Amino acid sequence: MTSFPFELVRTGSTNQFVLRKQVFSWSGDVGGLGTFEMKYPQEPTDVVQSRVVASATRNGTHIAAYSAAQHNGRPTLTDVEFTFAGDPAKLSRRSGGLTRKARTLHITVAGREYLYAQTGGKRKHTLTRDRASVQMTRSTWKNPRTIRGVANGTVDATDIGIALLLEGVYTRDLSWPGAFLYSIGRFMNGI
């Protein structure tokens, strides 16, 4: 069992015209597993575009992509297409869960079962699987300067890549207030 901290620093954001969304990226070395980078959206997108893609790379090689409906330029937990190393992932969750456990995101990818949950405030998330966890903390909620992580257990590059990629996803509805607001929106859209 090992434990090590790591940090990714915002490496850039593009400046686009008024009707274009910026591209944000974070990069850093992760405990001997290589240099990781996450960015969203993957390319500058139109504000009115309905889907956006977040992506993750390791040592310059594309390892994961997450495409979904967008909220303020970030992919959401709605209408998801998620691949890791070319393998499709399966995601499930209870959108209106009253407890944190009920709102946890369940992920199956690369033959592994993961749980991803908000773990204290909207800036902290934890990805767990059997004998491994990656705790992520953003310096600020929106477009943080740094994203810090702590890897515990038998963590490998797959775990880091997934945890980092999910930091580029709008996951506010994993919290109770976010789930409540999301439910109101679904109710209003159903009227």
Residue 5 has pLDDT above 90, yes or no: yes
Long-range pairs of 102-111 with CB within 8 A, sequence gap ≥ 24: 103/173, 103/174, 103/175, 103/176, 103/179, 104/174, 105/77, 105/171, 105/174, 107/82, 107/162, 109/82, 109/84, 109/162, 110/84, 110/85, 110/158
Q: What is the mean pLDDT of residues 5-23?
A: 74
Q: What is the pLDDT of residues 77-136, one digit of tens each?
A: 888 889 999 999 999 876 666 666 767 899 999 899 999 998 877 789 999 999 999 999
